[in-house]
Structure 1
Amino acid sequence: MNKQLAKEEIKKLIAKYEQVKSSGKINNYTEEETKNAFIIPLFKALGWNFEEKEEVSAEEHEISSGRVDYGFYINDRPKFYLEAKSLKANLNMEDFAKQAIRYSFNRGVTWAVLIDFEAIKVFNAQSPSQYLGDKLYFEIKYSDYLDRFDQLWLLSKESMREDLIDKEAERVGKKLQRVPVTEQLYKDLEECRKLLISYLGQWNPERSKDDLDEGVQKLLDRLIFIRVAEDRKIEQNILIPLLNQWRSLTVNNKPRLYQSMAKKFRELDEIYNSNLFTPHPFENWEDDGGGLEKVIKILHGKQGYYEYDFSVMPADILGSVYENYLGYKLSQSKKGLTLDKSASKRKEQGIYYTPIFIVDYIVKNALKPILDNCKSVNDLQQPFYFRNSFCF
């Protein structure tokens, strides 16, 4: 749809809204009715095809209450996420904006949109500021949709394809500073590792560099697994309740936080059939709990600034972060134990993450043709079938 046709459609929507407003029926509109009557038609006018799921996806709500309503994609890459509210909603409630911003940030996407049709707000979810006012790129009232059409058009499919909103934001200085989730999570994981190496190294001086490096890596792997399981509602919250319980105990009968965590690992080992929680010597190390307490806080983000939600974080983000994070090796310097980036370690240990799009390509072009020709599950159990299909 070209700009002139888009303007005409939006003009009709504005007239429709004013009619609803004058009749006093705004409070009768539910969020779903608002989306169908106003928000979806508005973005259709901006060129988006809601019938094509690869272009506009309805985000799921079952797993996490923090999800948003729609994701807008160009060539399978998310351009922005949108949180829709009913006509009667107060769009100035901070929780609405924080929900959209948090989701977009954790998905690695810059732009978060909040709308009830009466107004539309666009936020830079990757802004390093903790203040919503600094994250807000622009806000347009419905009565200004036509007068500020060029700005509204930045959310069109045509503009998103050319990244015009990014270019315009950089021109006016609204996107000069940003911290993507990949960069922030990588920094935080590096800080966690340094903290644990420092604390555990001081309390366990007899441990070798290799033992310390392996133990810290094992511990962090488990903590990240737990955070993902918590956010995906696979497990009840574990880390913060464990930390709060430890804090509430008196000095006389207070066990080490590290010991409490090791006990929890034994419980999880009974649940998950993997090597992740199998007994490891590091569970018997000494620690005062200070380093572990700080690490648990870091893995939750900073409230009001950025908050991690591992349930919505794409595998590509975690994979990319881990690939770089695991490339560090422990070394001894005059200042003590330090972490140094090592390209050789990544090469020696095969620390390379395969992006999702490559995995999809391999599955689609190597596995799918074979599976399409299978008549039954028994075909997959015959080795000659794969050899004849040039799989091996």
Structure 2
Amino acid sequence: MTDAPDAIKRLVETFGDNIDSYRSSPYNETQVRREFIDPMFKALGWDVDNEAGHAEPYKDVIHEDAVKVGGATKAPDYSFRIGGARKFFLEAKAPSTNIKTDCKNAREAAFQLRRYGWSAKLPLSILTNFAGFAVYDCGIRPHKNDKPSTARTLYLLPVRKEKDDDLWCFPGR
């Protein structure tokens, strides 16, 4: 396996080199998931594609997992698990989606993810467009009018050299 920091640095460099293209409308959530998010979490040791062949209850990652939110069943993009127990959700957005500033898209995306995490009683969940990773404390009850910065620690890419170690604190397997 490639050294995780090197593999992730290459992903970050590729993304940074082509940021304008990735932020264009045609580049969508599915593309950023397949080309950047999946490879990043694979480099961190997560079996994103169930290459180990585990039965459903024991997979590391469940895509479009089911979680009850306000009486309805919702589907976070990723549910990361260890030994069948959920550890965190990750919700992906297209790179053109603003997750940083207080705007309608960012508020809606943050509220959506925080509701998933709160309902599943998870300690944290991550919202990403790959240009940034918003780590939310899901122990704080979400409210529809919360700012995107509520209960959030935000990491922006590309990571500055002196901050490289921050990226490696993301939840590896």
- Which category describes the TM-score, using the shorter chain as reference length? 0.7 to 0.9
- Specify every segment of 5 or more residues in structure 1 that has no aligned partner in the other structure, as ranges: 159-392
Check 1:111–1:25 CA distance in 2 against 1; reply closer, same or farther (3 A cut).
Answer: closer
Larger radius of gyration: 1
Q: Which residue of 2 aligns with 1:55?
A: 60
Paired residue for 2:130? Answer: 117
Find the aligned partners of 2:150 and 2:121 in 1 and give their Cα distance. 19
Matched, 1:37 2:26: no
The 3-state SS of whatever aligns with 1:99 is helix
Alignment map for 1:184-199 (pairs within 5 Å): none
Unaligned ranges ≥5, structure 2:
51-55, 101-105
Aligned-pair distance for 1:12? 0.9
- Residue equivalent to 1:151: 166
Kept in 2: contact 1:145–1:152 (CA 8 A): no
Could you tell me how far apart the structure 2 residues matched to 1:94 and 1:144 are? Answer: 24
Corresponding residue for residue 44 of structure 2? 46
Question: SS where residue 158 of structure 2 aligns?
Answer: helix
Tell me which of the two structures has the higher relative contact order, counting C-alpha pairs closer than 8 angstroms and 6 or more residues apart: 2
2:16·2:158 contact (CA, 8 Å) conserved in 1? no
Which structure shows the higher helix fraction?
1
The residue that corresponds to 1:135 in the other structure is: 151
CA RMSD of aligned residues (A): 2.5
* Number of matched pairs: 153
| Residue identity matched to 2:39 | P
| Distance change >3 Å, CA 19–CA 152, structure 1 → 2 | closer
Q: CA deviation at 1:11?
A: 1.4
Structure 1 pair 150–78 and aligned structure 2 pair: CA distance change class (3 A): farther
Q: Distance in 2 between matches of 1:156 and 1:145?
A: 20
Supply the AA of the counterpart residue of 1:41.
P
Structure 2 length-normalised TM: 0.77
Q: Once the two structures are superposed, what CA deviation does each residue of 1:76-113 show, in whole Å capped at 9, x if it has no partner?
A: 11110000001111114111011111011111111110
Q: Is the 1:48–1:55 contact (alpha carbons within 8 Å) kept by the matching residues of 2?
A: yes
- Decide whether the 8 Å contact of 2:80 with 2:86 is kept in 1: yes
2:100 pairs with 1:102: no
Deviations 1:134-191 (CA, angstroms, capped at 9, x unpaired): 411x211111176434333232334xxxxxxxxxxxxxxxxxxxxxxxxxxxxxxxxx
Instruction: Give the match for residue 78 of structure 1.
Output: 86
Cα distance change on mapping 1:31 and 1:76 into 2, 3 Å:
same
**Structure with the larger strand share:** 2
> CA 1:65 to 1:145, structure 2 compared with 1: closer, same or farther past 3 Å?
farther
Residues 145 and 119 from structure 1, CA distance in 2 versus in 1: closer, same or farther, beyond 3 angstroms? farther
